Amino acid sequence: MKDVAPILRSLGLLDSEVKVYLAALELGPSTVIDLASETRLSRPATYAAIESLTKRGLVTTLQSGKKRLFAGEHPDRLLQYAKRRELELQERVSELTRAVPELALRIGGAKPVVKVYEGKEGVLAIIESISASRPKQIDEITNVDAMQAVILDEERKPIVSEIQRVGTKVRGLYAGSSIKRSAHAQKRVLPQEFSGFRGHISTSDNSVALVTFAGKMHSVLVESEELAATFRVLFELAWQRAAEFQEPEA
End position of a domain, from candidates 37, 71, 100: 100
pLDDT of residue 246: 65
Non-local CB neighbours of 220 within 8 Å, separated by 6+ positions: 114, 115, 116, 117, 209, 210, 211
Any domain includes 212: yes
Instruction: Say which range, 26-30, 97-101, 228-232, 236-240, has the weakest mean pLDDT.
Output: 97-101
Mean pLDDT of the residues in the chain:
86
End position of a domain, from candidates 100, 129, 158: 100
Any domain includes 247: no
3-state secondary structure 105-166: CCHHHCCCEEEEEEHHHHHHHHHHHHHHCCCCEEEEEEEHHHHHCCCCHHHHHHHHHHHHHC
Any domain includes 248: no
State yes or no: pLDDT of 7 exceeds 50.
Answer: yes
The residue-averaged pLDDT of 181-207 equals: 84
pTM above 0.85, yes or no: no
End position of a domain, from candidates 100, 130, 153: 100
State yes or no: pLDDT of 21 exceeds 90.
Answer: yes
Any domain includes 105: no
Q: Which domain range does residue 223 map to?
A: 113-242
The answer to whether the beta carbons of residues 29 and 71 sit under 8 Å apart is yes
Identify whether residues 89 and 126 lie together within a single domain.
no
CATH number of the domain to which 161 belongs: 3.30.870.10
Model confidence pLDDT, tens digit, residues 78-87: 899 889 888 9
pLDDT of residue 217: 86
Residues 181-187: contacts with CB within 8 Å, 24+ apart?
181/249, 182/249, 186/248, 186/249, 187/248, 187/249
pLDDT of residue 250: 45
Q: How many domains does the chain have?
A: 2
pLDDT of residue 162: 79
Q: Using alpha carbons only, what angle is made at residue 136 by residues 132 and 138, rounded to the nearest 5 degrees?
A: 80
